[in-house]
Structure 1
Amino acid sequence: MGYLVRPVKADEWQRLRELRLAALADPVARIAFNESFEKVAAYPDDVWQRRAARSDEDRDPLTFIGEAPDGSWGGMVVVRVELEGAEEWDDEEPWAHIVGVYVRPEQRGTGLARELFAAAVEWAWSRPEPVVRRIRLWVHEENERALMLYRSLGFVETGRTMADPKDETAIEHEMVLERA
């Protein structure tokens, strides 16, 4: 299936909200996301309007969606540029952070996740200021499907871990993609 991968438009905030809530209602949400369905469902409309407007204006954080030929949205990825934490790499360079990765169950295995990542990586690499040289993400130790996808896209584990913010007994692994 051919998807149109593009940033969310400002007037699509209700569809963005629906997709995010679908992600948080998915059975894998407990290991894929750090927010709860209940918390996000309570956000007022202006939160969603701001998120959609930022993407429409090509501002950080940017949400890409995968739109099927029938107009339905099959998935999303959010990318943002961060300076905080650069000292962890002993430099001052900013890095991009990929969060909010979701593909609807019926669209998994179609290549949509790869297309979404390609758009997010291209956006991060193409920014004139600040120049991004590394993209990172965190993956839950139980999320094997995501781990395999990220590895196939060139992300490598750094060896850094952190406790899952929702369950301190679980671990998340940092993965990075370095700019060539």
Structure 2
Amino acid sequence: MSYTVRSLHADEWPRAKALRLEALRDPVASIAFMETYGSAVARPDSYWQELSERRAEGASGTQQIIAAGPDGEWVGTVTVVMEEAGTTDWAGLPVERRQGHLVGVYVQPGHRGIGLTEVLFDAALEWAWAQGAERVRLLVHEDNARALRAYRKAGFVETGVTTTLGPAPDERELELAVERPDPESDL
């Protein structure tokens, strides 16, 4: 089965909204995402339009990657948020180096286990490296075994950093185990 993996376009906000709402209905959504289906579905269309504009191809600082199946249906997504050295991230963790933070990872159940997550990550990493990221990381709930397996398979390793996003320190930081590619290597 062939997939198309590319950046989101701003005018595709209805499809981005639909995929996000689908992700928020996943059985592990309560530990995988920072919002609920109820709060997301209540947001006005203007919210989804603005979010897609910020995450669209060519927008600065954030990039959403989508995967479409052979029939054009969107079946997966990941978003990269660039974080600047010397700041703190949205979870309150210090940012020591310019980094890409992968968020909103979702692949439909019928498309899991075939390498699509890695393909989405490859596109996200390519964009992050092009933005000058020195490392790429993500946070995952310690009870989200499926996601932990997928991220490890994609080359992410635990850093030992945990953070509290709920009542207990349950989010683990993972970072890509490989160094940023040398931009001179293609010359």
Post-superposition CA distance 1:146-180 (Å, at most 9, x none): 112211222111111112x2x41361100112425
Corresponding position of 2:45: 45
Pairing 1:172–2:171 present = yes
Q: Deviations 1:64-100 (Å, cap 9, x if unpaired)? A: 10011101001100101012238946x4x31110000
Deviations, residues 109-166 of structure 1 (Å, cap 9, x unaligned): 1221111111001100012xxx211111001111112112211222111111112x2x
Q: Is residue 2:88 matched to residue 1:85?
A: yes
Check conservation: 1:78, 1:101, Cα contact below 8 A: yes
Q: Residue 20 of structure 2 aligns to which amino acid in structure 1?
A: R
TM (normalized to structure 1)?
A: 0.88
Amino acid in the other structure paired with 1:94: R
> Do 2:162 and 2:169's aligned partners in 1 also have CA atoms closer than 8 Å?
no
The letter for the 2-side match of 1:172 is E
User: Secondary structure of 2:61's match?
Assistant: coil
Write the letter of the residue equivalent to 1:134. R
Gaps of 5+ in 1: none
Q: Which amino acid aligns with 2:173?
A: E
> Percent identity over the alignment?
46
Structure 2, unmatched stretches of 5+, are: 182-187
- For residues 174 and 67 of structure 1, the distance between their equivalents in structure 2, rounded to whole angstroms, comes to 28
RMSD (Å), alpha carbons:
1.8
- Give the length in aligned residue pairs: 173
Q: In structure 2, what is the Cα distance between the partners aligned to 1:23 and 1:119?
A: 20
Alignment-derived partner of residue 112 in structure 2: 108
State the shift of 1:56 in Å: 3.1
| Structure 1: 4+ residue segments shifted above 6 A | none
